[in-house]
Amino acid sequence: MTDLQAVLDSIHTELQPRIGEGKVADYIPELAKIDPAQFGLSVVTVDGKVYSVGDAAVPFSIQSISKVFMLTLALGKVGEGLWKRVGREPSGNAFNSIVQLEQEAGIPRNPFINAGAIAVADVVLAGHEPREAIGEVLRFVRYLADDETVTIDDKVARSETQTGYRNFALANFMRAYKNIDHPVEHVLGVYFHQCALSMSCEQLARAGLFLAARGANPMTGHSVVSPKRARRINALMLTCGHYDGSGDFAYHVGLPGKSGVGGGIFAVAPGIASIAVWSPGLNRVGNSQLGAVALEMLAGRTGWSVFGD
């Protein structure tokens, strides 16, 4: 599929003058230091071909994209019982909102808002010391990406630990409703470290390829989840993956996807390919500005939208 590389090249070329647009996340001090003038895009097709442009090999902080891997891990541990702890509906509120938690007795709306992801981290933590759980998360992501060089950036994790007051509020609030079982510091220890996973677009696209390929990574042969679970995780990404910008992302891009404040977006074209894009400047709702534009161009030019070609 030579023309896929051509599509990526054309996107890169057209976006070149806009690289640096948007505003780098500054609420986590360590992230505020990133040079905004970076852009990478990788596509891995289900037949194992890799297409990349720009800074696709530069590692960045995947932040909330990690919630997809954590959800996968938690579903593996407790299965559909997870949904007693967290909902599956779009929240209609910002990613760090606490209002809904109070109105719905401490059950977060979905696993991709912060509260939901913290509840998921609590599930992953069960039976472990925090260090062990963090180790398990790292091993799992390395296994998915088939790449032992994936790391966690401790400086980012520490930076967020020191300033993540809202996340401490969310976790304590859920603990008050007994929807967090472990000490808040332990749960957030896992949460802040998963968010600090540092991966390149290529690593990320490989790691998520199983979601495009009926639950198994065709490059490694590793079976990760059942085809049904892969579909369901994709459904959750589509309805909830971009917080209160999820409807807009579906409208413009039409692919299941998950964004992170580090400027990355991971997306899935079911049956076709997994995609990772990175550009640190964020738009008004906290998603990568050029990342979203690039994905809209990609979906438009390939006809990969799940809503029709």
Distance of CA 193 to the CA centre of its chain: 14
Known catalytic membership, residue 177: no
Choose between 175 and 206: whose C-beta lies nearer to a second copy: 175
The position carrying tokens 């006809």 is 303
Q: Which of 51, 53, 61, 67 is catalytic?
A: 67
Minimum CB distance to a second copy, residue 229 (Å): 10
Footprint of a second copy (CB under 8 A): 87-93, 97-103, 109-110, 165-166, 168-170, 172-173, 175-176, 184, 211-212, 214, 227-228, 230-232, 234-236, 238-240, 244-248, 250-251, 254, 256, 270-271, 300, 305-309
Contact yes or no for 205/4 (Cβ under 8 A): no
Choose between 46 and 150: whose C-beta lies nearer to a second copy: 46
Rounded to whole angstroms, the Cα distance separating 187 from 121 reads 6
Minimum CB distance to a second copy, residue 58 (Å): 30
Name the amino acid, one letter, at 66.
S
Residue 261 has which token pair? 């404040």
Known catalytic membership, residue 143: no
User: Shortest CA distance to 170 belongs to which of 157, 159, 158, 179?
Assistant: 179
Q: Which of 97, 191, 198, 253 is catalytic?
A: 191
Known catalytic membership, residue 42: no
Q: For CA atoms 295, 297, 299, 301, give the dihedral sign.
A: negative
Known catalytic membership, residue 246: no
64 has binding-site annotation: yes
Name the amino acid, one letter, at 182.
H
Contact yes or no for 123/82 (Cβ under 8 A): yes
Residues annotated in a binding site for substrate: 64, 114, 160, 167, 191, 243, 261
Q: Catalytic site residues? A: 64, 67, 191, 243, 261
